[in-house]
Amino acid sequence: MFKNNGGGFVVAEFAIALPLLILVMYGLATVSVKIFALGKSQLADYVLESEAQYVMEEVTHIARTAREVEISTSGGQVKFVYHTAADKNIIESTSLNGRYVFMLNDVLETQYFMLYEKEGRNSSNLYAKRQDDGTYFNPITGENYFGDTKVNYLKCAVNEQKKILHISLEMESLVTGRKIKLDTAVYMPSYKAGG
């Protein structure tokens, strides 16, 4: 009685299956690495677009109410003096013919947008500050975990007769090397020529 349990074929099957399994695993690892790299570059480009849009929104928002605009000759700093409503603690109420009238105080604020390259970095970040005191802590661009960026330039020019501020911004992703450039013009109805 001869009994064949097929034990001799296990080694041969394993010898064929192992290289195929290794090939499949290598293919999956390669695809995963490429998908990760593509996702990382797409996320870095999204960060670049988001930061550029945020900067333009902030600058145009303040410029719309600007009374004064000071642009440094190097082009790395813009100072705005603009109208804003006072804090809630400064709201006044007066009685007028037996009725209370609330007056909201209009005050002037100062905002600086400045390019600065911190020690240890090879690129400039943009900072928004209330005063130019020489300290730089939290940039509004760059140093993002998902995709670092740099500001190549922020240029502003004022047409004093028309009360229009021309803004040009170029930013670059330090991850992908892609650039984005935004240009706009803002009408400043409260602007007073000559400060």
Instruction: Tell me the pTM.
Output: 0.74
The SS3 call for residue 79 is strand
Q: How far apart (Å, rounded) are the C-alpha atoms in residues 71 and 175?
A: 30
pLDDT at 180: 95
- Look at the block and give the residue holding tokens 């390259």: 117
Q: How far apart (Å, rounded) are the C-alpha atoms in residues 14 and 49?
A: 52
Amino acid (one-letter) located at 40: K
pLDDT at 183: 95
pLDDT at 31: 93
pLDDT at 170: 94
pLDDT at 4: 56
CA-closest candidate to residue 91, choices 82, 99, 81, 101: 101
CB burial string 97-136: b at 16+ within 10 A, e below = eeeeeeeeeeeeeebbbbbbeeeeeebbbbbbbeeeeeee
- Name 77's Cβ contacts closer than 8 Å, sequence gap at least 6: 71, 112, 113, 114, 115, 132
pLDDT at 193: 78
Amino acid (one-letter) located at 169: L
Q: How far apart (Å, rounded) are the C-alpha atoms in residues 77 and 127?
A: 9
pLDDT at 89: 52
pLDDT at 184: 95
pLDDT at 107: 79
Cβ(117)–Cβ(141) below 8 Å = no
- pLDDT per residue as tens, the chain (195 positions): 555 555 556 777 878 888 899 999 999 999 999 999 888 899 999 999 999 999 999 999 999 999 999 998 877 889 999 877 665 554 555 556 666 655 556 678 899 999 988 888 888 899 988 887 878 888 888 888 888 899 999 999 999 999 999 999 999 999 999 999 999 999 999 888 775
How crowded is residue 13: how many other Cβ atoms within 10 Å of its Cβ? 10
pLDDT at 118: 85
